[in-house]
Structure 1
């Protein structure tokens, strides 16, 4: 059940008393500069897309969640001075793999963290989650290897939400490559059979991502150089919506454009997979709608209250570092060829899906799209679409479903080997002053 606005505000304010060492100096009654009530100043200016009415309650909810971190994960990350971040990761890894009982003298904060992730809410349909994971194997195996970079740089278009990534050292090419591969690893891991069960690899990956976000909050807020009045809480809940829900949002937007207001069974399964992944990452039910209109309303409310702001020293540098990053595991001839093809595809994918085809605007951000890029994109897209269509057909053919699914699982596992081991850690020594990055 969704919380009332008053309940959400009380939850936000409780951070000050629950975690005084981290949030004691934060004024949760303030509205940070990043949030704007004026749609003319926002990232998205139309609050009523295609007849979907974004209500005042939607806006109020986003306003409140703009100042919410992650109480249980933040509490665990706050043990860094006592345990060190490597020790915290080791304890969390053991608790995910073997259960909290396997961690002798487990800190109460770790117990609470694991318990929160284990408490699957009644609104999650795990059968649909498993079906959604099976359906997403196809796109993960065929589209994701080419699209992940383009989708990743789309998260750097706004200085207010991009600053935490700049603070974690992602401005270097090596760090950017690691972050892209870690992101790809997380989403690929979660579609494997059994990965999102309690002791599955996806459950553990979500815990690691969640801890990484909390480490960013801890180090940024404790640095004394993070301006809450400008940026709010680092990585608030509303900034995790795009990463977890962008494919679902685009699908919902398309569905509404076709005049539908309900998901099909397969669409609903994909939505449930996304919602459960987001739950594991700490997002509340309030931000995880289960209807096309609800998804569009929630995301539009977020984007139409996030103040515009592209800063080249932060956003531009992050985009350029990510575009320049070499993602393959080695420099064999095959991998160098894949890198050149994938990089061209990523630029056009970014232009089409996140820049509305505005080549001049993309170029100003550091993404220059050439005719050769478009040619490569078209060829790769044709191949990807054809292969995905063949596997969709096999899914519905008698006797071929299990075989095709096994092939997809093998391909995703090969991708994971290619992405490498994900560390999901941040180095506090690399953090820069907030005013320097902005």
Structure 2
């Protein structure tokens, strides 16, 4: 790919434009939407429907991406320096600081000025508390976050990039899913976002990977800018951050986790900082529980359900990715058989029944009973953790160990790469 083939700017729509498939205002008065709105208002004592100005700003963010990282990729990876030397510069700056890179190009300096400068809103203690809450959810959040994403694969702006690259479809689904889990573990480990830490470095590598995927997709004639916005937009990326905070904070109560509103707001702040490092920096990012619910309300109301066969393939590739490898040693095969059925149970429990039934999926019973049966045990353990001094720290150590063991059982000694695909599958 040569530089003159790269679009000059990622903002391909006129100022104030909103993608055609952002159908919020067309669907807002649907009786089902308004019934859900009234039910929420009754249960939580506030209106989940956001102001129109916020919705419009959210819609416009589907034409916004990451201009700082885009400029770096243009000048270094796609310019005279080249991808190999560019990657070496990036690795050197991540490991030893931008000062250690001789003759660093201006765009790399600008990228690291932003990356290493704390935003004004940052509260490091709140970030640490949010990361600890995320760790406390253990391996359950891996399944919950992915299952909640399956429901959104109905949307073309989410499904098409994943389908075109093939990263979460077919045989490659397991590898990419486990790379995502590795990212979640790295950024949420204690100190994982400190300068030089593994999570912080991973965030930058994922950020650059997204630039390459975005650029390749924008050059494809089938990418519908008018309908979907830009690939991996600020809008969809922000929803991904909320899928790691407010959504599991509420949803994991269903299996016994006791997450307070204050703790949900800590995870919001944690993921906002992760997003900042990833180049996802909307000024309208929710600061509290009520604001986050309003963004999620808009996200669900605006859905267009146009992903079609691409979205169906992504949904139906998820669970088969956990099927045991018949060539594995028998101890691992047994663990994999158990884990596969656990994943069926979680997916069948959390994915809306209509969505599960609409796709070709493994049989739900009896595995769907697993989350229900474990809920009293988790609720009891959570109650003890909240009431007995010292147990919170013990629970944190246990969950950190369980996360790493779960990951290693899936991938063995292989390390996550976080590299963009070289060729799209179609």
Provide the TM-score with structure 2 as the length reference.
0.81
Deviation for aligned residue 1:390: 3.2
Partner residue of 1:219? 216
Partner residue of 2:364? 370
Instruction: Choose which of 47, 52, 63 in structure 1 pairs with 2:48.
Output: 52
Instruction: Choose which of 341, 344, 353 in structure 1 pairs with 2:341.
Output: 344
Instruction: Choose which of 300, 319, 326 in structure 2 pairs with 1:323.
Output: 319
Three-state SS of the structure 1 residue aligned to 2:415 is coil
Partner residue of 1:305? 302
Deviation for aligned residue 1:285: 4.4
Partner residue of 2:27? 40
Partner residue of 1:5? none
Deviation for aligned residue 1:170: 2.2
Is structure 2 residue 265 aligned with structure 1 residue 268? Answer: yes
Instruction: Choose which of 395, 399, 410 in structure 1 pairs with 2:401.
Output: 410
Deviation for aligned residue 1:29: 5.5
Three-state SS of the structure 1 residue aligned to 2:195 is coil
Deviation for aligned residue 1:181: 0.4
Out of 400-409 and 387-396, give the one that drifted further. 387-396
Partner residue of 1:159? 156
Out of 282-291 and 322-331, give the one that drifted further. 322-331
Task: Provide closer, same or farther for how the CA distance between residues 126 and 319 of structure 1 changes in structure 2, counting only shifts above 3 A.
Answer: same
For structure 1, which runs of at least 5 residues remain unmatched after alignment? 1-18, 256-262, 433-438
Deviation for aligned residue 1:319: 1.9
For structure 2, which runs of at least 5 residues remain unmatched after alignment? 1-5, 42-46, 253-259
Partner residue of 1:100? 98
Out of 183-192 and 91-100, give the one that drifted further. 91-100
Which digits, 9 at most, give the CA deviation of each residue in 1:24-71, with x for residues without a partner? Answer: 865556443322244439999459453323211121111211110111
Instruction: Choose which of 292, 295, 305 in structure 2 pairs with 1:295.
Output: 292
Out of 58-67 and 404-413, give the one that drifted further. 404-413
**Residues in 2 aligned to 1:200 and 1:396: alpha-carbon distance in whole angstroms:** 33
**Residues in 1 aligned to 2:87 and 2:370: alpha-carbon distance in whole angstroms:** 41
Deviation for aligned residue 1:147: 4.2
Confirm or deny: 8 A CA contact 1:348 1:369 kept in the other structure.
no
Deviation for aligned residue 1:160: 2.9
Out of 222-231 and 401-410, give the one that drifted further. 401-410
Instruction: Choose which of 91, 111, 118 in structure 2 pairs with 1:113.
Output: 111
Deviation for aligned residue 1:305: 2.3
Instruction: Choose which of 113, 134, 158 in structure 1 pairs with 2:132.
Output: 134
Confirm or deny: 8 A CA contact 2:63 2:229 kept in the other structure.
yes
Deviation for aligned residue 1:364: 2.0
Task: Provide closer, same or farther for how the CA distance between residues 277 and 23 of structure 1 changes in structure 2, counting only shifts above 3 A.
Answer: closer
**Residues in 2 aligned to 1:88 and 1:430: alpha-carbon distance in whole angstroms:** 22
Partner residue of 1:91? 89
Out of 326-335 and 105-114, give the one that drifted further. 326-335
Out of 228-237 and 363-372, give the one that drifted further. 363-372
**Residues in 2 aligned to 1:327 and 1:84: alpha-carbon distance in whole angstroms:** 40
Partner residue of 1:150? 147
**Residues in 1 aligned to 2:29 and 2:194: alpha-carbon distance in whole angstroms:** 39
Confirm or deny: 8 A CA contact 2:12 2:225 kept in the other structure.
no
Instruction: Choose which of 175, 187, 190 in structure 1 pairs with 2:187.
Output: 190
Confirm or deny: 8 A CA contact 1:391 1:404 kept in the other structure.
no
**Residues in 2 aligned to 1:252 and 1:37: alpha-carbon distance in whole angstroms:** 25
**Residues in 1 aligned to 2:198 and 2:106: alpha-carbon distance in whole angstroms:** 23
Q: What CA RMSD, in Å, does the superposition of the two structures yield over aligned residues?
A: 3.4
How many residues of Structure 1 are paired with residues of Structure 2 in the alignment? 400
Three-state SS of the structure 1 residue aligned to 2:366 is helix
**Residues in 2 aligned to 1:407 and 1:254: alpha-carbon distance in whole angstroms:** 22
Partner residue of 2:176? 179
Deviation for aligned residue 1:152: 4.7
Partner residue of 1:427? 421
Three-state SS of the structure 1 residue aligned to 2:368 is helix
Deviation for aligned residue 1:116: 1.7
